[in-house]
Amino acid sequence: MALTVKAIAESINIMGTRSGSAMKDRIKGPVEEMAKEETAAGGTYLDLNIGPARKDGTELMPWVVETVQDVVDTPLCLDSTNTDAMAAGFQVVKNKDAAIMNSISAQPERMEKLIPVAAEAGCNVIALLWGPDGMPRDSNERAAMSVDLMMALNDAGIPNEKILFDPIGTPITLGADQIASGLEFMMMLADIAPGSGSTVGLSNVSNGVAEHLRKYLDRTYLIMLMKYGISTAIVNSYDKELMAICNGERQDLVDLVHAMMDGNDPDPSTLAGSAIEHYKTYKALSGATIFSESWLEL
């Protein structure tokens, strides 16, 4: 059976060129169109990212939720650091049981404010492994944070089956070690929180890399995460190759990268096309070759 990953489509975003200005000016058309496009592309969930929205979040989030719900039934993933906006958004979500709160981090004030909102809504929750001191430094810090979050969520009546842990993908420009520690945590997750799911914002890995090269990193990184059973991923649903990987339609590439992760390298002279792209990109992401923007040409 082919491995599959549920796609959380990321493009309805306050930073996006099409969706950002539409959201700020409350113009429904572009948001409606993108919701339909991302659904047609195979998004299992639609991420609605309004950013910090300090001024008008409690009004903007419900507006985006209702705009999208008017045109598609796709489950929603509400994405904001504004806890009041999150609560206001969930007030109007129709299918709360299928929806996702993105996210609750391991910061006490966010846990205090948002856990009751999630428990009341009965929604799924992304548990973001970002603590009071920021980014975790290794897999042990991720493990400690995930236990804190799991216990607090379970105490509020939210079972592991409703939790998606996000170990936070780190940019390749920060080094392959950081990527490895996120993967190491993914390997530990089934023992730490049995029954839980997981997610990663794939494009974090290619943050700061030239635009035309980013998709190669995001695709191979997804395949690496699939080895440890990642259940969902935050993706650009307009990338057809990436969606094909999510849908279990590139098992040959999955087999190639997973074999390399087990230490079984193919002879690169036998590879062509997307196989050689994934081969080279895996070498960069695993730290076997030093990362530079010419990694595909090596």
The string over 34-47, giving b where at least 16 C-beta atoms fall within 10 Å of a residue's C-beta and e elsewhere, is: bbebbbebbbbbbb
Considering just the CA atoms, what is the radius of gyration of the chain in Å?
19
* Residues 229 and 4 sit within 8 Å (Cβ to Cβ): no
CB-side neighbour CA atoms (13 Å) of 202: 33
Kindly tell me which of 136 and 201 has the beta carbon lying closer to ligand THG: 201
Kindly tell me which of 85 and 126 has the beta carbon lying closer to ligand THG: 126
Closest among 261, 267, 268 to 176, alpha carbons compared: 261
Kindly tell me which of 135 and 190 has the beta carbon lying closer to ligand THG: 135
**C-beta of 131: minimal distance to ligand THG in Å?**
15
Token pair in block for residue 56:
């008008």
Closest-by-Cβ residue to ligand THG is 201
**C-beta of 288: minimal distance to ligand THG in Å?**
25
* Residues 183 and 224 sit within 8 Å (Cβ to Cβ): yes
Kindly tell me which of 128 and 222 has the beta carbon lying closer to ligand THG: 128
**C-beta of 86: minimal distance to ligand THG in Å?**
13
**Contact set with ligand THG (CB under 6 A):** 10, 13, 16-18, 49, 79, 102-103, 126, 128, 166, 169, 199, 201, 203-204, 234
* Residues 62 and 69 sit within 8 Å (Cβ to Cβ): no
Kindly tell me which of 13 and 139 has the beta carbon lying closer to ligand THG: 13
**C-beta of 49: minimal distance to ligand THG in Å?**
5
**C-beta of 18: minimal distance to ligand THG in Å?**
5
**C-beta of 44: minimal distance to ligand THG in Å?**
15
**C-beta of 168: minimal distance to ligand THG in Å?**
6
Q: Which residue has the tokens 């595909």?
A: 296
Return d(Cα 238, Cα 227) in angstroms, integer.
24
CB-side neighbour CA atoms (13 Å) of 130: 15
Kindly tell me which of 202 and 260 has the beta carbon lying closer to ligand THG: 202
Kindly tell me which of 102 and 220 has the beta carbon lying closer to ligand THG: 102
Query: 113 burial class (0-12, 13-18, 19+ CB within 10 angstroms)?
Result: middle
Q: Coil, helix or strand for 272? A: coil
Q: What's the DSSP call for residue 134?
A: B
